Amino acid sequence: MSAGYAKRFDMPDKSLRSPAPASAVAELADPLLLRIVEALERLAPPPPPAPDFAAEAFVWHADRGRLAPVKKINRVELALLRGVDRVRDALVENTARFAKGLPANNALLWGARGMGKSSLVKAVHAEVNRREGQGGLKLVEIHREDIESLPTLMALLRDAPFRFLVFCDDLSFDTEDTSYKSLKAALEGGVEGRPANVLFYATSNRRHLLPRDMMENERSTAINPGEAVEEKVSLSDRFGLWLGFHRCSQDEYLAMVIGYVEHFGLRAPADEIQREALEWATTRGARSGRTAWQFIQDLAGRLGQRLDE
C-alpha cells in the first residue's frame, strides 16, 4: 500500500474530524436562537398587570387572570333592607370582626329568592367600611362559572395589605359539575388553607348547594351510600355561618315599600300606595324585597320622579 493510499483511507484529514471553534458555532446559532426567542415572546400573552387595590370593589376575570375595578357598586343602603333583621345583624357582626383582624366564618346566605341575599352582602360591606372609616375591606365578586379559579384568586390576594370579601352570587352546582371540589379545597382543607385576609360569602337558593337528584343518584350507585352523600353535603359544612332567608309576610312587604317611599321622597297618598303595592305583589304571585323594589321603580316612573340612589 502506498503512502498516498494510506494517507487517503487510514488517516483522514484532521480538519474533517475536528469540531468547529466555539466562536464559529455561536456566530451561526445566536441569530437563529434570537429569532426563535423573539417569535415565542410575540406569541406569548403579556403578563397580567399587578393589581391596583385603590378601588373599593372588583370583579375577578378568570380568563384574563385580573381584577377589574368597579367604579360604582350596585347596592342599597342597609337601613332599606327590611324583614331580615336577624340575619342582617349576624352578618354585620361577622364581617366587622373580620375587618378588625379577628376570627370570622365563611357565610352562606340561602333561601327564598328575591329576599335581598346579595343586596345584604353589598350593603354590609359598605356599612362595615363606613364604621371602620378606612376602606380597608375590599369586595371581590367571582362568577359561578369561575369557581375553579378560586385558588388562583386567593393566591393573588394572599399577600395584599388589605382584607377581602370574596363574593359569589347564586352559587349552585349541576349534576355533572365537579368544580365544587375546588371550592371545598379552597375554603378549608387545602395545604395552604384559606388566606387569613380572605373571607368567602356566597348566596344560593339551595341550602346544600347541590341538587337533590345528584345526591340520590350517588346514594343508589355507591357501594357505601352514606359516604357518597357525605361527600356532597360536606361542601356546605365549609361555611361556618348559615343564614336562612324566608318569604316575608304582608306586613313586612308593606314595610319594605314604605321604607323605599320615605327614602326616595315619593309623593303619593299612603293608602293608594299600599293598595297598589299589594295588587302588584298579587299579580306576580310573590311578596319579596325584589317585588317591592320593582313596584317602587314602577311607581316612581308613573309619578315622574327620579330614584337617586
Higher pLDDT, 240 or 11: 240
| pLDDT of 25 over the 50 cut | no
Tell me which DSSP letter residue 98 carries. Answer: H
pLDDT in tens, 264-298: 999 889 999 999 999 999 998 889 899 999 999 99
pLDDT in tens, 137-165: 999 999 988 888 888 899 899 989 999 99
- Cβ pair 265, 309 in contact under 8 A: no
Q: What value, to the nearest 5°, has the Cα angle with vertex 56 and ends 55 and 60?
A: 80
Please give the Cα distance from 92 to 122 (Å, whole number): 11
Mean per-residue pLDDT of the chain: 80
Position 305, amino acid: Q
Phi-psi region of 76 (alpha: psi -120 to 50; beta: other; left: phi over 0): beta
pTM as predicted: 0.75
Position 220, amino acid: S
pLDDT in tens, 187-244: 765 667 788 999 999 998 876 666 555 554 544 554 545 555 555 556 667 788 999 9
Residues 6+ apart with CB under 8 A from 222: 228
Confidence bin at 309 (pLDDT 50/70/90): low
Q: How many residues does the chain have?
A: 309
Highest mean pLDDT among 9-18, 99-108, 170-179: 99-108
Instruction: Quickly list H helices, the chain.
Output: 3-9, 14-17, 22-43, 85-99, 117-132, 150-157, 180-187, 212-221, 225-233, 250-264, 270-284, 289-303
Please give the Cα distance from 44 to 46 (Å, whole number): 6
Nearest to 196 by CA among 104, 287, 274: 104
Sign of CA dihedral 284, 285, 287, 290: negative
Which of 2-11, 69-78, 240-249 has the lowest average pLDDT?
A: 2-11
| pLDDT of 4 over the 60 cut | no
Please give the Cα distance from 21 to 36 (Å, whole number): 23
For the record, the C-alpha cell of 132 comes out as 371602620
Which of 7-16, 96-105, 206-215, 270-279 has the lowest average pLDDT?
A: 7-16
Nearest to 89 by CA among 238, 241, 200: 241
For range 13-29, the mean pLDDT = 51
